[in-house]
Structure 1
Amino acid sequence: MIDVLVAGGGPAGLATAIHAALAGMEAVVIEPRPGPVDKACGEGLMPTGAAALAELGVAAPEGRPFRGIRYVDGRHRVQAEFRDGTGLGVRRTALHAALALRARELGVRVVPGRVDAVRATGERVRARVTTRREPDGPEPYEREPCGPEPCRPEPCRPQPRRPELDAPELDARWLVAADGLHSPIRARLGLDLPSGGPRRYGLRRHYRVAPWTDFVEVHWAPGGEAYVTPVGDDLVGVAVLSSERRPYDEHLARFPGLLARLGGPPATPVRGAGPLRQRVRRRVAGRVLLVGDAAGYVDALTGEGISLALLSARALVGCLRAGRPEEYETAWRRLSWRSRLLTAALVRARRHPSAARMIVPAARRLPAVFGAAVRSLA
């Protein structure tokens, strides 16, 4: 019987498997897509996330360090440096490849497939695994009907799936659901809660230009934000966040100063994700535990998704190793409360135009408060 069966081979799932292997547990990862998998992501690791990556023994992926966060709104701007260490801007594919290599070094098996059913049987959990490979297709929301306006340049339509090969059942002491923002396992277990409020989405692509700063920049405009991360010596990632469904270029046109810096044509296609907000009843359901985006998500605005996933993976395995899995819920809340509180406050302010216009000017007038918030998150 497997000790830890991980559904999902992204950063959260691979980090969980690596921690389990380092703790002397057998870990198997189920992932339908061949790696490295790309997806919509701000691609910024806060200093705590970069430290957590090093703790796993992962060889530092190629990327670009950054030393703080800068908010920009027209002529208003404010920035704060991290107190301890630097963050790391890194392509999602490079991060995935580095984690996958470390997992292989530790003997973690990655099985192509998808967990289609889960049931508890006494001291174990049984997972039905459909073994198949799927193409590295678009994110879930890109397969939704787009309405009158396209959400990306090409038409939105379902990606073809390859035929199922077989459907074995695997037994494990624990199942970790790391199957993403719209976790099917979470939904099957009845752990979803209504999200409420406006539905926000993220779109990201890259531009072949030398970074003009060693800060991550968050640009503010009516209706949305642009999150700029240096990920290489000649490459930046630009993610736009908004509750409005419209093509990426229309979003980016709201930031003329940023657009002028980007210069030539984009280097990568658009990737999208959403709705971003996902509320979860709890993160432990018997012998099933949730990690990463599957454990709940507020918004991408503060850029902590990957860092929180890495830290949560460590906490989860620590609880399993101690024989106290029920304590993972408290550990997750303790790790994420600052991020959830600040992100929720910013998103609420975003809903009111008058309050949204004051976010950057207020941060500029109160630099000590802004700096404390950035360092707290980092």
Structure 2
Amino acid sequence: MNQSGPDTDVLVVGAGPAGSATAAWTARAGLQTTLVDAAVFPRDKTCGDGLTPRAIGELERLGLADWLRAHTVNHGLRAHGFGQTLHLRWPGGTLPDWGSAVARTELDDHLRTTAVKSGATAVDGERAVDVRMDGDRVAAVVFKGEGGTTREIACNRLVVADGVRSPLGKKLGREWHRDTVYAVAGRTYVDSDRSDDPWISSHLELRDERGEIVTGYGWVFPLGNGSVNLGAGTLATAKRPADVAIKPLMATYAASVRDDLALTGELRMPTSALLPMGGAVSHVAGRNWALVGDAAACVNPLNGEGIDYGLEGGRLLADLLGDGTADLTDAWPALLAQHYGESFSIARRLAGLVLTPWVLPRLGPIGMRSDLLMTLALRWMGNLVTDDDRDRAARVWRFAGRRSVARDARPPFA
């Protein structure tokens, strides 16, 4: 225990996109920053690996555009379903007009390196197991390393970015509310002769081994390295739990698209995870600590994407941490609600509607017959709307979000 003062100004637990982005921005702001992760890098992470324009914009801010373009660039979404195939370009506007996909093994390692180059100190192989409080403030975090040895790192401010399960967040009182929609998703890798395809593919008519429609979607994201990320996800709530085995579902999905997408190998490294979504957690901050990224359920309920919100949230939180005297208890959930509350509210309401058994079979074919409707759906589902957008589609999305929040029994982050 350090009796003379904190070991670091900002302690970030978790070196995924949210943690590394926060660490990079706080270090660039001149704050002494320590970034700790339980894993030894490089390490894998269950994810679709896709980077939509919202994520691209944040990576550009970090100075990583050239690095991204050296991997793969895609134009938008190739949507399949109900006898139709549509090519939907990324809308652009105030966001970049291109996307990418990078395996998390590489992406997270590069983001962590970016944080180190920005001035952060990185430590891996040490798991956060407890906190030591000083009144209503976190004074230190207890870590367990190899061999079971423990040590404390004292800090002025703590950032919890330890993922969807957030064990450290639970120690601080974080609670996940499953009454709103969440996802059960899995991913695998497979060799493909179309790994340089300039379109990501999404199959909205996802069927299980019995041929029944599943309330979710399948994806194939080309990685440009001879393989693709293939996965499937389904939606659920506490009242409508998911009744599907994800790994068999991925195998069935892969078999159905093998010829069309030139899949040439066997499925590798299959993994799955539960995803809290749409800000469906409470107690995301205290006097000098805050949850960010997946730990704060900053995951889009309509497409399952979380990388963009992790990167963006890290930057927003770093700005807030710049004022060393700021009480984060109310300030951080208010900032999250300001940026994501409306979009998450309407998105999880729409996602919950999809769980109604008749909705997808009846409305899916109608939507897939219209380029206009699906272009709007791509923009809204991907939350590719910023505060600077003033077009009609953006205004409709924000209006719907305001109405949705007003009807929420528990708004996002509450």
In the superposition, the TM-score normalised over structure 1's length comes to: 0.83
Q: Is the 8 A contact 1:206 1:267 kept in 2?
A: yes
| Of 39, 47, 52, the match for 2:53 | 47
Q: Is the 8 A contact 1:205 1:266 kept in 2?
A: no
| Of 106, 123, 135, the match for 1:94 | 106
Question: What amino acid does structure 2 have at the position aligned with 1:347?
Answer: A
* CA distance in 2: counterparts of 1:373 and 1:327, whole angstroms: 32
Q: Which residue of 1 aligns with 2:231?
A: 239
User: 1:197-252, CA deviations, whole angstroms, 9 ceiling, x for partnerless residues?
Assistant: 67641111111112474232221221242122112152211111133342524444
| Of 136, 141, 161, the match for 1:178 | 161
| Of 350, 355, 365, the match for 2:354 | 350
C-alpha spacing 1:94/1:212, structure 2 compared with 1 (3 Å):
closer
Q: Secondary structure at the match of 1:65?
A: coil
C-alpha spacing 1:86/1:279, structure 2 compared with 1 (3 Å):
same
Percent of aligned pairs with the same amino acid: 25
C-alpha spacing 1:44/1:275, structure 2 compared with 1 (3 Å):
closer
C-alpha spacing 1:355/1:7, structure 2 compared with 1 (3 Å):
same
Q: Is the 8 A contact 2:190 2:266 kept in 1?
A: yes
- Please state if 1:217 is matched with 2:185: no
User: 1:91-140, CA deviations, whole angstroms, 9 ceiling, x for partnerless residues?
Assistant: 1111112112212212311223122112432695223322425xxxxxxx
- Please state if 1:76 is matched with 2:84: yes
Q: Which residue of 2 aligns with 1:130?
A: 143
Q: CA deviation at 1:192?
A: 0.3
Q: Is the 8 A contact 1:76 1:360 kept in 2?
A: no
* CA distance in 1: counterparts of 2:180 and 2:331, whole angstroms: 30
Q: Secondary structure at the match of 1:60?
A: helix
Q: Which residue of 2 aligns with 1:160?
A: none
* CA distance in 2: counterparts of 1:310 and 1:351, whole angstroms: 29
**Gapped runs of 5+ residues in structure 1?**
134-162
Q: Secondary structure at the match of 2:223?
A: strand
Q: Which residue of 1 aligns with 2:290?
A: 289
Q: Is the 8 A contact 1:302 1:343 kept in 2?
A: no
Q: Is the 8 A contact 2:74 2:199 kept in 1?
A: yes
* CA distance in 2: counterparts of 1:191 and 1:265, whole angstroms: 42
Q: Secondary structure at the match of 2:189?
A: strand
Q: Which residue of 1 aligns with 2:67?
A: 60
Give 4+ residue runs of structure 1 displaced > 6 Å after superposition. Answer: none
* CA distance in 2: counterparts of 1:20 and 1:225, whole angstroms: 37
Q: CA deviation at 1:257?
A: 4.0
| Of 357, 371, 377, the match for 2:375 | 371
Q: Secondary structure at the match of 1:18?
A: helix
* CA distance in 1: counterparts of 2:222 and 2:344, whole angstroms: 24
Q: Which residue of 2 aligns with 1:274?
A: 274
C-alpha spacing 1:213/1:355, structure 2 compared with 1 (3 Å):
farther
Q: Is the 8 A contact 2:75 2:89 kept in 1?
A: yes
Q: Where do 1:111-190 residues align within 5 Å?
A: 111-112=123-124, 113-121=126-134, 125-133=138-146, 163-165=147-149, 167-190=150-173
C-alpha spacing 1:262/1:40, structure 2 compared with 1 (3 Å):
farther
Q: CA deviation at 1:281?
A: 1.1
Aligned pairs, how many?
348
Q: Secondary structure at the match of 1:353?
A: coil
Question: What amino acid does structure 2 have at the position aligned with 1:126?
Answer: A
| Of 26, 41, 66, the match for 1:20 | 26
Q: CA deviation at 1:71?
A: 2.7
| Of 37, 41, 44, the match for 1:35 | 41
C-alpha spacing 1:338/1:43, structure 2 compared with 1 (3 Å):
farther
**Which has the higher relative contact order, 1 or 2, with Cα contacts under 8 A spaced 6 or more apart?**
1
C-alpha spacing 1:213/1:76, structure 2 compared with 1 (3 Å):
same
Q: Is the 8 A contact 1:207 1:262 kept in 2?
A: no
Q: Is the 8 A contact 2:82 2:364 kept in 1?
A: no
Q: CA deviation at 1:270?
A: 0.4
C-alpha spacing 1:120/1:57, structure 2 compared with 1 (3 Å):
farther
Deviates more, 1:299-308 or 1:333-342: 333-342
Question: What amino acid does structure 2 have at the position aligned with 1:66?
Answer: N
